[in-house]
Structure 1
Amino acid sequence: MAFMDTQPAPMDALEGIDPYAAFRIESPREVLALMRQLMETATPIHMNAPGGVSFATAIWTVDSASQRLAFQAELTNPHLQALVESDEVTAVSYLDAVKLQFDLNHLMLVRGAKSCALQAQMPRRLYRFQRRQSYRVRTLERSSPVALLRHPALPDIQLSLRVLDVSIGGCALWLPEDMPPLAAGLTLHNVRFELDPDTRFNATLHVHHISSIQPNARGARLGCELVKLDGNAERSLQRYIDQTQKRRRLLTVG
């Protein structure tokens, strides 16, 4: 599975049989708990609509009384209006090794004096898909995980970008606004990853998408695919992912 597979899985039933019934959650309590978890962890959510419309955001508030969600939004995003006008919007997100997918109904744009938000009805159901091939984990800030690379247009400039999350298939990097921009579609060669003292390797990156998930964030989130990992690098990365998952579970229990 490609990293950051933000496209929804097809939900069409086959001859009246729902092939995804085993993955469906319809308990209001469970749905609410997962929405709150997405909000509290500021987990990126990718909204998709027909025609290739895509929008990266995060849950701002969860209102259990009114059964409404509010999502972060920026008026400057060219896809925002198309999402509001669409009758078919599907959200995709990830909680570590689990892909969550749910429909968003009654989407509307709410404007304030200094900000705006997207509101939608609380989903009545969602689907959980366990990813067996590519586990994605949020990195631990205390280890200062970075990706070091030369800017393709300015080879004399070396960028040191914070690694936000990673899997065997790819990663998300944070590009501060004071650094030279990078465009989606770029392939970056000889990128040096330093995730912790024991996990360091070189790889090629393909930049798939660029987004901002916070209204006041001063920078951009780069969703990248990791390509051409050699065997040693892949084993080292897999150990890092396994150890990070264990540490996060301990932090949650604590």
Structure 2
Amino acid sequence: MTDPRAEHSQTTTGELERFRVRTRAEIVAILGGLLQQNALVTVYFGPGPDFFVTALLAVDAERGTVVFDHGADPLQNQRVPRAPAARLETYAEHIRVEFSVGSITTVDFDGKPAFAAPLPPSLLRIQRRETYRVRVPKSRPIVCELPPAGGSSQPVLAQVRDISLGGIALIDFPPAFALVQGTVFERCGLRLTNDERLDAGLELVHVYRSPHAPGGRGQLVGCRFLHLSRAAEARIQRLVHQLDRDRLIAD
């Protein structure tokens, strides 16, 4: 397994320090925003390339703690509290957020096991300009058509939660429908509007299943676009810019 941390070796610590946030109130606000967005968070821990994908479950300013979900691998979950520290990283609203936590413990959250740690003393909040990821509003839904499954002749439908030129995040799958990280779909359909459909290949990069939400609605799947034509790239870029402008006007 390739360790995604290798990509950060190209950026020096000095270059990153200008993005560091140290104010407690701002840290709580940023983490609270990630919680509200249900952002996918990658947790790196241990001396080797150990990592898993999860989501934040709670940010408690009073107690000074952050709670995040267990991963899918029970053996990894056993090792996490023994690690001296872990680094958490996510991309949300075309911004990278990264922070480290220590003293990780296993706790009960809504009747399910989760991890808790003290709030980080600082975090990095880095603007990503090369790929803008925007949330798809409920007033203008985008539906993704995945290949039929389980002997059905009909495509599996999911809602696009956010979109960028690089990929999409999918939610609201049918009940009992499960996806596996690493799966490649050579051809999927994106219904951008009632009259417009765009074809694209998808690679499932992250699959997060929340034990706190039932069935397919508990899945959040991060996908990378494959085999996009130039026309499709241009159309997605226009759509991203339009959604971003609409969001700014609404704000």
Q: Is the 8 A contact 2:200 2:226 kept in 1?
A: yes
Quick check: 141-150 or 76-85, which moved more? 76-85
Correspondence for 2:241: 242
Cα distance, 1:122 vs. partner? 0.7
C-alpha separation in 2, matches of 1:32 and 1:73: 21
Counterpart of 1:139 in structure 2: which amino acid? V
Q: Among residues 109, 115, 129, which one is paired with 2:126 in the alignment? A: 129
Match of 2:31 among 20, 27, 35: 35
How far 1:203 moved relative to its partner?
A: 0.7
| Deviation readout 1:56-106 (Å, 9 max, x if unpaired) | 333222222221112234787553222222223111122311110000111
Q: Which residue, out of 173, 177, 182, partners 2:170? A: 173
CA-based RMSD of the aligned residues comes to 2.9
Cα separation, 1, equivalents of 2:38 and 2:28:
15
Once the two structures are superposed, the pairs formed by residues 68-79 of structure 1 within 5 Å of their partners are 68-73=65-70, 77-79=74-76
Q: Identify unmatched segments of 5+ residues in structure 1.
A: none
**Matching residue of 2:15:** 19
CA drift of 1:180 comes to: 4.4
**Hey, what does 1:192 align to over in structure 2?**
189
Is the CA contact (8 Å cut-off) linking 1:23 and 1:128 kept in structure 2?
yes
Which AA in structure 1 matches 2:234?
R
Comparing both chains, which one has the higher relative contact order based on Cα–Cα distances under 8 Å and sequence gaps of 6 or more? 1
Whole-Å Cα distance in 1 between the matches of residues 181 and 64 of structure 2? 36
Q: Which residue is 1:82 aligned to?
A: 79
**Contact 1:97–1:136 (CA under 8 A) maintained in structure 2:** yes
Tell whether the 8 Å contact from 1:6 to 1:93 is kept in structure 2 after alignment. no
Counterpart of 1:120? 117
Q: Mark the CA change 1:123 to 1:85 in structure 2 (over 3 Å): closer, same or farther.
A: same
TM-score w.r.t. the length of structure 2 is 0.84
Question: How many residues get paired?
Answer: 246
1:49 shift after superposition: 1.7
Tell me, in whole angstroms, the C-alpha distance in 2 between the residues paired with 1:75 and 1:168: 28
Task: Return the alpha-carbon distance in structure 1 between the equivalents of residues 226 and 202 of structure 2.
Answer: 6
* Residue matched to 1:225: 224
Which 5+ residue runs of structure 2 have no aligned equivalent?
none
Q: What's the TM-score once normalised by structure 1's chain length?
A: 0.83
Which letter does structure 2 place at the counterpart of 1:156?
S
> SS of the counterpart of 1:66?
coil
Q: Identify which of 108, 117, 122 aligns with 1:111.
A: 108
Evaluate the alpha carbon distance shift between residue 57 and residue 13 of structure 1 in structure 2; reply closer, same or farther with a 3 A threshold: closer
Percent of aligned pairs with the same amino acid: 23
Distance 1:204 1:151 in 2: 15
